[in-house]
Amino acid sequence: MALDYASLLARDHFPPGEVWLVGAGPGDPGLLTLRAAQALSQADLILHDSLSGGAVLRHARPDAEIIAVGKRKGAAPVPQPRINQRLVEGARAGQRVLRLKGGDPFIFGRGAEEARACQAAGIPWRVIPGVSAGLAAPAVAGIALTQRGMAQAVTFITAHDEAGGLPMLDWAALPGTIAAFMALSRLNELAVLLIAAGRPAATPVAIIAGATLAGQVTLRSTLGACSLAARRAALQAPALVVIGDVAAVDLTTHVPVAAARRHA
């Protein structure tokens, strides 16, 4: 039976006075979900992060108010309490308020803080999940985070805690593959901590910059050499860092010749 997209989307009516926390995905506008696109087309007020794939905003109504509130290097970000306040003010004014966040709202996206602000103000809210860069970036680089026989677990971490530094973790206890968000500027510190915690300096590392976009770059190195390699390659954020044996594998180069001919 064919999927009835019209019926699927019809239930996503965006009532005035609500806040929707929407994931924009990893950057490629083709990876925006149908529900996210539908919500964008109905929103009166859109507060968005510094998105890698800004083309997703093309789904917004021409008369929608669009405000950039994301962090940019070298520019002062809009404080989170002010973002929370703007969400509540818009909803109380009867607007359909959409908070557009890169990746998924609840994966290192501060979506929970915004949801709690709405709850405290008595504002109805909902979340539309997005494709997290933690899953998408390795996949498009040919890395299976939990490749059978190599990794039975994956650990997602952020390299920036509330104070802007590396979080206080038990680095020796982190299991399996590590996928580190926002780690490019903290790569040397991260590598030093992991090596001190017992990870070999020869542990494979992959840095995926601009994942899913036309300028995507994947740099493969080791834990001991990755910081210098990233500087020499002049990699730019946003980037995801994958640490573990699977980071040495590039599945995109392992397509059997016969299979490639069948799909030609």
Cis peptide bond N-terminal to 238, omega within 30: yes
Report which residue type is found at 8. Answer: L
CA–CA distance, 127 with 101 (Å, rounded to integer): 11
Select which of 44, 49, 101, 104 is catalytic.
49
Tell me which DSSP letter residue 123 carries.
-
Q: Which residues pair with 217 in a beta bridge?
A: 209
Select which of 28, 44, 104, 182 is catalytic.
182
- Among residues 132, 104, 140, the alpha carbon closest in space to that of 212 is found at 140
Helix (H) or strand (E) holding 220: strand 217-222
CA–CA distance, 133 with 52 (Å, rounded to integer): 11
> Which residues 6+ apart lie within 8 Å of 24 measured at CB?
32, 36, 48, 49, 51, 53, 56, 100, 101, 102, 103, 130
Q: Check if 63 is active-site.
A: no
Q: Check if 71 is active-site.
A: yes
Select which of 71, 73, 101, 104 is catalytic.
71
Q: What is the CA radius of gyration of the chain?
A: 20
- DSSP letter string, 133-190: HHHHHHHHTT--TT-TTT-S-EEEEES--TTSS-----GGG--SEEEEET-GGGHHHH
Active site residues: 49, 71, 182
